[in-house]
Structure 1
Amino acid sequence: MKPLTFYTNPNSRGRIIRWMLEELNLPYDVELMHFGGNIKSAEFLALNPMGKVPAIKHGNTVVTEGAAICAYLADQFADKGLAPAPDSPERGTYYRWLFFAAGPLEMATTAKAYNWRLDSDNCTSVGCGLYNDTLNTLETALANGPYLCGEQFTAADVYVGSHISWGMLFGTLERRPAFTDYVQRLQARKAYSRATELDDALAKTMEHQ
């Protein structure tokens, strides 16, 4: 198996990829990146010129951006069943909501967090449209659960579920019953618990460095 290196900081979206890796249950190495430190080093910038985490290196392949990493890993390790088969009717659903979270949902919740103006004057020019429209659309994604692709848990649930969980935690996403029920189902997974324990322990280690 090609070596897999995970570049992360536990106080970042790297937690999404940690969870994804634990769902895959594969060996991987961890490179801890420090904000204001080695995350801006020439070595890391050669991998990701943005100087941000998460990132992975799988053999000679570098992948950045959370949604892209989730999709890449699900396809590379297709035997783990974290993506619908290419010929499955759920394959389109999987891509739809994975990238809905990376685009409109991320934009809408960021706008909410920073009080950016989203209204009838500019919503047609903004990818997420109106905030409530984005949330209402997200809610429809959960209507045929328990997961985004029905009975199959996928990488899209890892990515979308993380955004919903954090949005509710930080107050940028309403605590609708559909959202809270979905997050509770996801957080009951063993891989989620393992990932959280690993990142919480890593965060404590950083406090004493």
Structure 2
Amino acid sequence: MLTLASKIVCYDIPVSISTTVKSLLITLVFQDVVVRVCFILGNMTAKNDDARLRLFQENKSMDALLAIMKYYLDRDIKDVVVRVCFILGNMTAKNDDARLRLFQENKSMDALLAIMKYYLDRDIKIKSREKEKEISKQDSSKGNDCEDVLIKTVRVVANMSINEMVGPVLASNQQFVELLLNILGKYSSVLILLKNVPMIKQFIQQVSLYYNTKQKNQIWQTKTNLKH
């Protein structure tokens, strides 16, 4: 008897994508099924440009992925969150329309920022406990999981920022800038990942410049106010 993965791989890509998206919408609350379907989508879109395009073109694909991401973030199910971020990263890797569309989806940035903040805070707490020698081996592995989620999430946002309309908006979002700089400062693996992409490296430089300029302007404004 064929497994779900085997059955879907046997189909042509258009049918496979349509089948998997419908499966996600129908089985939202069934974690095991969602993990398997996301695994399939992740594999299909990892190196196959046609699969990425088909998923982007599939009606409600973004809605389904974002709904799943939000649902399982609220329930602290890392396996699903990281797989969805991986898929979104694949979709936005080369497709500028996908970058803009994801950004324009209802509360998509709120969801991505929530993931970045949640897993950054969680990892900081775990490492703080580790320093105090009050952490178990199981908790320590969760810290590594946090970094994996952050890498996948930052990749999505960095891909989106390549779009000429999205990039400036993100660079002016103080919450995003602070989160990104905190993550880059704490995780060399994320920095290495982003530095390998010239356009993303340029964006990081622009964000840093914007942030530093804004901070200097705030300091200057404070000094000016004190003089009056």
Structure 2 length as normaliser, TM-score? 0.36
Give the greater-gyration-radius structure (CA).
2
User: Which has more helix, going by share of residues?
Assistant: 2
Higher relative contact order, chain-length normalized (CA < 8 Å, sep 6+): 1
Structure 1 length as normaliser, TM-score? 0.38
User: Which has more strand, going by share of residues?
Assistant: 1
